[in-house]
Structure 1
């Protein structure tokens, strides 16, 4: 679980990983995430497995040691999965943990405000317990919209105090991620220490008959 403050692992944005996500701390966090957080990541992976299009491309922002990517891969072997994180140590752990999936699942160092991908790269983007650590969520919104394909969806999971309204208001102001009304719900996680979390879903506008995207 990503239930404590961090900078490199769970957000993909900021100015350098905290100590727990480097060296020995990163190895400890890798073990915790893989074993104690499986139930939570499994719950989120179920959502993503149900929502992702056939043979789609999925991006996990703040992937840490790649546990969520691994859980999604186990449920949907047709998907191409990518994780990003600021922490080089976490990405090294993710790459080790995802080796079993070959080229279908990979992980890279990256920042949510400067995503290292071309426009329209992903059908679905997910981020779990990372939004509340983003230093500039407003700057992340246009980047998320840029790499999301028309009709694609963004799934954000986090604590209630995370700046969900900032994401929604910025998207509305910039006329992006407005394909469908934003939906925010509380979901059960199956984890005693974190029985519920918030799920926010936004959508990119679909392609219109004229070749553009709707507002």
Structure 2
């Protein structure tokens, strides 16, 4: 199993992300993917600027956001997902962290945020679901503040090259050389993941 969350409205949320299936998915991923969430949360906790607003695109039931919240009490954290049932699950999981952590229903290609309002974006196992990576990349570049970073995590075969090409085409996320690394997660279910980091121009 992998943590595949819905991100764009080009198709309806898959059945696994709706209704009672979303509850089962929440419980299963909470335990099976703890190592993966922990590893990514450590990255974000180490890299996020003081007091930043961090957006998780394709948040699903919000376990990654919760893991980040436990490590960094100064951050404002927002999880966005296409599935209203997943957003409901995330809202429940975020209750222990108060008003600084919240969930929103939204489309990765049409985010409900103003220009340059987000300090950092993270997305885990959502990229390979993006029907139009170019539209999503343009939108992430729009909401990211100057110098803001995008952390993408996905399979080796995910369309990272399409993301790079789209960023070049739209003139976003080209502030620093891109960094793509295969990292060890400590999770027996998903022991390795590709991390791709891009930065908005200053």
- Partner SS state of residue 169, structure 1: helix
1:93 pairs, out of 89, 100, 104, with 89
Instruction: Pick from 5, 8, 15 the counterpart of residue 13 of structure 1.
Output: 8
Number of residues of Structure 1 aligned to a counterpart in Structure 2: 201
Counterpart Cα distance in 1 of 2:189 and 2:96: 30
Q: How does 1:33-112 map to 2 (within 5 A)?
A: 33-112=29-108
Instruction: Name the SS of the counterpart of 2:158 in structure 1.
Output: coil
Structure 2 distance, partners of 1:56, 1:126, is 13
The secondary structure found in structure 1 opposite 2:139 is helix
Assess if the C-alpha contact under 8 Å between 2:124 and 2:153 holds in 1: yes
Structure 2 residue 26 is the aligned partner of structure 1 residue 30: yes
Deviation readout 1:58-91 (Å, 9 max, x if unpaired): 0000000010000000000000000000110000
Within 5 Å, which residues of 2 pair with 1:53-202?
Answer: 53-202=49-198
The TM-score with structure 2 as length reference comes to 0.97
The question of whether the paired residues in 2 share the 8 Å contact of 1:52 and 1:124 is answered with yes
CA distance in 1, matches of 2:7, 2:126: 8
Structure 1 residue 117: deviation in Å?
A: 0.5
The change in CA–CA distance for 1:11 and 1:48 in structure 2 (over 3 A counts) is: same
Q: Does the residue aligned with 1:198 lie in a helix, a strand or coil?
A: strand
Are 1:11 and 1:131, in contact at CA under 8 Å, matched by a contact in 2?
A: no
Judge conservation of contact 2:2–2:190 (CA < 8 Å) in 1: no
Instruction: Name the CA distance, whole Å, in 1 between partners of 2:157 and 2:141.
Output: 23
Q: Distance in 2 between matches of 1:141 and 1:112?
A: 9
- Structure 2 CA distance, aligned partners of 1:115 and 1:175? 18
Unaligned runs of 5+ in 1: 207-215
In structure 2, runs of 5+ residues without a counterpart are none
Q: 4+ residue stretches of structure 1 with deviation over 6 A?
A: none
Superposed displacement of residue 23, structure 1: 1.0
Shift of 1:12: 1.4
- Structure ID, larger Rg: 1
If asked which structure has higher relative contact order (CA below 8 Å, sep 6+), I would say: 2
